[in-house]
Amino acid sequence: MSAIRHETAVSTGRTARVFLYLVLVLFALFYLLPLYVMGVNSVKPLPEITGGNMMALPRAWTLEPWRAAWSSAQIGVQPTGLKPYFLNSILMVVPAVSISTIVGALNGYILTKWRFRGADWVFGLMLFSCFIPFQIVLIPMALILGKLGLAGSIPGLVLVHVVYGIGFTTLYFRNYYAAFPTELVRAAMIDGAGFFRIFWRILLPVSGPIAVVSVIWQFTNIWNDFLFGASFGGTSQPMTVALNNLVQSSTGVKEYNVHFAAAILAALPTLAVYVVAGRYFVRGLMAGSVKG
C-alpha cells in the first residue's frame, strides 16, 4: 500500500512539474514575441512589412536596414545612423558605472565597519535619494551643470548618473557588508592596517557578487536612460536619444525595418550583459538579501 502511495505521489509531482514548465515556456514565448517581431522585420524589405504579415518570416532577406540603422548610409529619408552615438554611450556608461560602484563600495564599508554618530541618518538620506523621481532634479541639475561648465557634455552626463546612482550602490554594498565579520576588520586594525588597506585586502576580494549586481543595475539604467540624455546631452547625445530622433525624423513612409534594426542595436549591449552575467546578478541579490 505504501509503495502504491509513493508511486502516486511521484506521478503527481511529475505531472505538476511538467505543467509548471509548460506554463513557464508559454510565458517566455509571450514575452519574447516582441523581440521576434523586431528581429524578423529588421531583415525584411519595407514592402513586405507594409503589405504583408509582420509575424511571417521574410521572403527576401536583407541586411540593408541594419547598415542604414548603424552607419551614415541612408534608406529613403533616414538620417544619420546610430554609429556616432554608440561611442557617446560607451564614454558615458563606463566611467559612470565604475565611479558609482567604487563610491558605493566605500560608502557601504564606512557605514558598516567605520561607524560614526549619525551613520544611520546618513544612510537613510542616501536611501531616500533612490526614490526621488527624475523629473524633480532636472532644473536643479541643469543649473549645477551650467555653473560647472559641464552642460551638453559627456562629463556632465557622467556626473548626473554618478550622483543619481550612488544611493543604489551604497544600499547594495551596505547590506552586503553588514554581515561581514567585524572582528576581521578589528584584527587588521590591531595589526596596523589602515583604512584603504583593509578595504583593498579584506573586503574587496569578497565583494564580487554584490559588485556584479551594482554593475549590471547601473549599466542597465544608464544605458537605457532617455530623460537625462535628452535634457543634458546637447551634442553628445547617447544612443537612446539618437534612436528616438531616428524614428521621429522620418517623413512620408516610415522605414519600419530600419527602426526595428536600430531598436535592437540600442538594446544589444544590455541584452549581452544579462546573458553573460545574469546568473551572477541573481546570486548577488540573494547573497545581499541573506547577509543583509
3-state secondary structure 219-261: HHHHHCCCHHHHHHCCCCCCHHHHHHHHHHCCCCCCCHHHHHH
Higher pLDDT, 279 or 131: 131
Please state, for a pLDDT cut of 70, what percent of the chain lies above it: 87
Residue 206 sits in the same domain as residue 133: yes
Sorted by sequence, the CB contacts under 8 Å of residue 266 that are 6+ apart come out as: 82, 239, 240, 243
Q: 177 and 276 share a domain?
A: yes
Mean of pLDDT values over 27-33? 90
Mean pLDDT computed over every residue of the chain: 84
Q: What confidence tens digit (pLDDT) does each residue in 133-169 have?
A: 888 888 999 999 999 988 889 999 999 999 999 999 9
Summarize pLDDT for 186-224 with one digit per residue, the tens: 888 888 888 888 889 888 888 888 998 899 999 999 999
Residue 78 lies in a domain: no
**Could you tell me if 127 and 151 lie in one domain?**
yes
Let me know whether 155 and 47 are in one domain. Answer: no
Q: What is the pTM of this model?
A: 0.82
Half-sphere exposure of 225 (CA within 13 A, CB side): 30
**Res 79 pLDDT > 50:** no
Full domain range(s) for residue 64: 2-70
Q: Is residue 213 part of a domain?
A: yes
Residues 148 and 13 in one domain: no
29 domain-assigned: yes
Of the candidates 250, 268, 216, the residue with the CA atom closest to the CA atom of residue 86: 268
Residue 75 lies in a domain: no
Phi-psi region of 51 (alpha: psi -120 to 50; beta: other; left: phi over 0): alpha
Does 103 fall in a domain? yes
What is the reported pLDDT for 75?
42
Least Cα distance to 265 among 48, 50, 84 occurs for: 84
Residue 284 has pLDDT above 60, yes or no: yes
The DSSP 8-state label assigned to residue 204 in this structure reads G
How many domains does the chain divide into? Answer: 2
Using 50, 70 and 90 to split pLDDT, how confident is the model at 247? confident
